[in-house]
Amino acid sequence: MRVDPNYVSHLATAVDQSTLLEDQLASELSSGLRIRTLQDNPVVAARSVLIGSSISRDDNYVQAASGTQSLLQLTDSTLGEVVSQLTSALALSVQGSNGTLNASNLATIGQQIAGIRDEVLSLANTSYLGTYLFSGSQGSVKPFVINSGTVPATTIYTGDSATQTVETPTGQKIQTNLPGSGVFGTASSGVFSALNQLIADFSSGSPGASTATDISSLSSAISQVSAQRSILDSSLSRIQSTSTYFKTEESQLTAQQQTLVGAD
């Protein structure tokens, strides 16, 4: 019988390897991961890092998109109320210009339009989480201020014309705000200019030939608000669809990563 002089050494090595394998399996069982470090499998580990980066990118966008959707929904709701108020002002203006009302009736219409103007001004100065919706990039600046010391009154825009965007993981840029000057106009044109002119027309008790022009200006201003709202609605639709897409992609990548590095 031949005796292996290295028997004990080989046995010890085998025991060590068995112990190492047992420890590895126990670690995989507790962590749920087959690949935890670069040494375990450099190629697979590198692939897992790339997938993890994509998961993080998608998740960051989905989280940002959630807040942006809330912002856009509030802006859309605000503009819907603006259009409703302006439509009422237009109806009053047409009623007041038919030539059948006395001075007192006309003055009352002027007061009603003034009330609508003030309501629209409040809507134009709506804020969300401390940021004004319609001040461009000047989120902390109240965008519209009325000066009642002039006749007609003037409404001044104090924001800027900058548009802001959110970028998707694939590089698409989606507009997320509407500068107030583009929606409501400036001191000499747009929503507030038309309303202030009509208030002055009817408050005098004898609207003149310019009233028809002012009514036309208000009608055009309503169309401008609606056109800007359409831009916003398009952005909201794109935010919702891309958020859904990247949320689904995130789930798929997470499953892929788990399959790649997960314990058998």
Instruction: List, for residues 106-161, the tens digit of each pLDDT value.
Output: 999 999 999 999 999 999 999 999 999 999 999 999 999 999 999 899 999 999 99
Collect all residues with Cβ–Cβ distance below 8 Å to 200 and sequence separation of at least 6.
110, 151, 152, 153
**Least-confidence region, from 37-41, 49-53, 82-86, 216-220:** 37-41
pTM of the model: 0.80
pLDDT value of residue 57: 95
Is residue 133 helix, strand or coil?
A: coil
Give the whole-angstrom CA distance, residue 156 versus residue 146: 6
H-run or E-run covering 190: strand 189-190
Decide: 64 and 203 in contact? Cβ < 8 Å: no
